Structure 1
Amino acid sequence: MCLIAEAIAPFSALPLVEADALGDLELELERTVPTAERRQQRLWVWGPGASNFDAHAVFDSSLGDVSCLESIPGGALYRLQWDAAQNTLLTALTDLDITLLECVGTNESWELRLRAPSHTSLSDLRTRCEAHDISLEFDRITSVEEESAPLGTRLTDDQREALVLALERGYFDDHRRTSLDELGRELNISRQAVSGRLRRAYRTLAEQVHEETVQSERRNRDVDY
């Protein structure tokens, strides 16, 4: 049975650039279908200054050519020349037949979405990472079947708990009355894990709103017809 796992890894687990260069920028590895044997990766940079990110960022020594392919409002797409075999985390994923579905990074951590063949493979991944001083924190593990369930049922208990607590403590108020660190202490998890749970809850809720909007527009077109 295939599993979908969401995890938090430190930024050092995939040090494409020096963390200090990011500021408020966000990195996202683009999902691609391999059509040739090549060592290239596409990287989206989101936020102010994304279009000239390569001008001031200090890239990891494992990377070769870095070039900006396209700039759009609020973001830019870069091409990286790299050797994934030099990275402990990526090598472990390959060896354990775990697919990296999503990879989003800030200057503190990477949020990973993985597809794994078994719980054993995820356990082995954690062990491999710990052996190289990489802390890997799993936030959510579900079956592929559960992952494809209606969106309204996909908000996990942990995500719901984090959302409700953040609301009750005033995290969403105009003058924020709490922080991710404080929420993390109450939930007994790291601030990165709190941020990850909230981010994934936002995404799930946004997807649900989008789906409901599309269905509503479709019904209205049918009525007009």
Structure 2
Amino acid sequence: MSLFAEITVPVDEFALSSTLQAVPDATVDIERVIATDDDIAPYFWVATHDFAAFESAAESDETVSQLVRLDEFEDAGLYRADWTESVEPVQHAYSELNAGILEASGRREGWEIRFQFDDRSQLQSFCEFCEGAGVSFQLSRLHEIERAEPAEQYGLTPKQEEALLTAWELGFFDTPRSATLGAVADELDISKQSVSDRIRRANRNWIADALVVEPAEVTAD
């Protein structure tokens, strides 16, 4: 039976460790991860007031290479990079266990990562690897998938569900609207670009899951 595991990792033991410490206002939300024969390449959103400082810090960050800015908006940028072997937990989860990252958020205080494991033995192997590698982590939540929860049934991640529910509760979807995108962002304590992206991807995912016969690959955040 597959498992969802939510894990907290100190910033200095995961990706972009020195970058997030050098640029304290930056937050990183991984959108998706692509694994090739040689590399693991994440696509991620960065919210910061200084993209140049973030990119400069990333150049000397041993956990990433080949950083490329793909898109830029008012307060967030979409990047692609390669994770190096320094990011041991992810390398092991993908290369050896075939586990997946459903979503991950990083900031100066640390990373919150949501994994999906095939079963408890796979999770145990991951925990043993982290302990053997000296990677400290905290398992903050664990649950088995016995049946699809309402959000998961429609292809939504917890953050997407939270964004949709908050927007609905504040009146963002009312006609006329009784809340702005900025108000939703303030309630969630994230940038307007981040909440806009979550709502857009949430709508895409549930439409693909509920209405499209052969849905395109859904994305997480």
- TM interval, short-chain normalised: 0.5 to 0.7
Contact 1:2 1:116 in 2 (8 A): yes
Letter in 2 for 1:12: D
Deviations 1:83-141 (A, max 9, x none): 4x453101221212211111111112110011101122222211211112211211111
Q: Which residue of 2 aligns with 1:54?
A: 55
Q: Which residue of 2 aligns with 1:175?
A: none
1:45 equivalent in alignment to 2:2: no
Aligned-residue identity in percent:
22
Deviations 1:125-166 (A, max 9, x none): 1121111221121111122345x3236xxxxxxxxxxxxxxx
Q: Which residue of 2 aligns with 1:7?
A: 7
Among 136, 145, 165, the alignment partner of 1:208 is 165
Aligned-residue offset at 1:38: 6.5
Contact 1:129 1:135 in 2 (8 A): yes
Q: Which residue of 1 aligns with 2:92?
A: 92
Secondary structure of the corresponding residue to residue 31 of structure 1 = strand
Letter in 2 for 1:208: L
Task: Please give the residue correspondences for 1:59-208 in structure 2 after superposition, counting only pairs within 5 Å.
Answer: 59-83=60-84, 85-94=85-94, 95-145=96-146, 148-150=148-150, 205-208=162-165
| In structure 2, C-alpha distance between the alignment counterparts of 1:97 and 1:8, rounded to whole Å | 20
Aligned-residue offset at 1:12: 2.3
Aligned length: 165
Secondary structure of the corresponding residue to residue 124 of structure 1 = helix
Secondary structure of the corresponding residue to residue 30 of structure 1 = strand
Letter in 2 for 1:66: L
Q: Which residue of 2 aligns with 1:157?
A: none
Secondary structure of the corresponding residue to residue 100 of structure 1 = strand
| In structure 2, C-alpha distance between the alignment counterparts of 1:205 and 1:43, rounded to whole Å | 19
Deviations 1:24-46 (A, max 9, x none): 21112221466x65734323211
Deviations 1:38-64 (A, max 9, x none): 734323211322365213445323533
Structure 1 gaps, min length 5? 152-199, 218-225
Secondary structure of the corresponding residue to residue 91 of structure 2 = helix
Q: Which has the larger radius of gyration?
A: 1
Secondary structure of the corresponding residue to residue 25 of structure 2 = coil
Kindly tell me: are residues 91 and 107 of structure 1, through their superposed partners in 2, closer, same or farther at Cα, counting changes over 3 Å? Answer: same
Letter in 1 for 2:64: L
Kindly tell me: are residues 131 and 149 of structure 1, through their superposed partners in 2, closer, same or farther at Cα, counting changes over 3 Å? Answer: same
Contact 2:23 2:53 in 1 (8 A): no
Q: Which residue of 2 aligns with 1:193?
A: none
Contact 2:6 2:115 in 1 (8 A): yes
Contact 1:22 1:106 in 2 (8 A): no
Secondary structure of the corresponding residue to residue 15 of structure 1 = coil
| In structure 2, C-alpha distance between the alignment counterparts of 1:88 and 1:55, rounded to whole Å | 23
